[in-house]
Amino acid sequence: MSDDDTNTENDLKGLHTRLLRSTSVAALGKLDRAFHELEGRELKALSRPTASFMAVAPKDLAERAAEMLLEQFAQAKTDAQYDGLTGLHNVKALDTHLSNVISAYKRRHNAQYATNSEKNHQPAVLFIDVDSFKALNDTYGHDKGDVLLKNIADALVQHKRPLDFVARKGGDEFIVVLKDITPERTEANPHPEESIVNRYKDLIRDIKVDIGNGQSVACPISVGIKIIDNDDTPESAIKAADENMYADKPKGIGRGSAERLIITQKTPDTPAPPSAG
198 confidence band (pLDDT: 50, 70, 90):
very high
Instruction: Return the pLDDT at 74.
Output: 67
Per-residue pLDDT at 224 exceeds 70: yes
The HSE-up count of residue 94 (CA atoms within 13 Å, CB side) is 25
Instruction: Return the pLDDT at 16.
Output: 55
Q: Is 42 exposed, middle or buried (0-12, 13-18, 19+ CB in 10 A)?
A: middle
DSSP string, 163-185: T-EEEEEETTEEEEEES--GGG-
Q: What is this structure's pTM?
A: 0.70
Instruction: Return the pLDDT at 235.
Output: 96
Per-residue pLDDT at 194 exceeds 80: yes
81 confidence band (pLDDT: 50, 70, 90):
confident
Per-residue pLDDT at 251 exceeds 80: no
Task: Using the Cα atoms of residue 50, residue 56, residue 57 and residue 63 in order, give the sign of their dihedral.
Answer: positive
Nearest of 76, 89, 87 to residue 40 by alpha carbon: 76
- Range name among 88-102, 113-127, 132-146, 179-193 with the lowest pLDDT average: 113-127
Instruction: Return the pLDDT at 108.
Output: 84
Instruction: Return the pLDDT at 21.
Output: 55
Instruction: Return the pLDDT at 17.
Output: 58
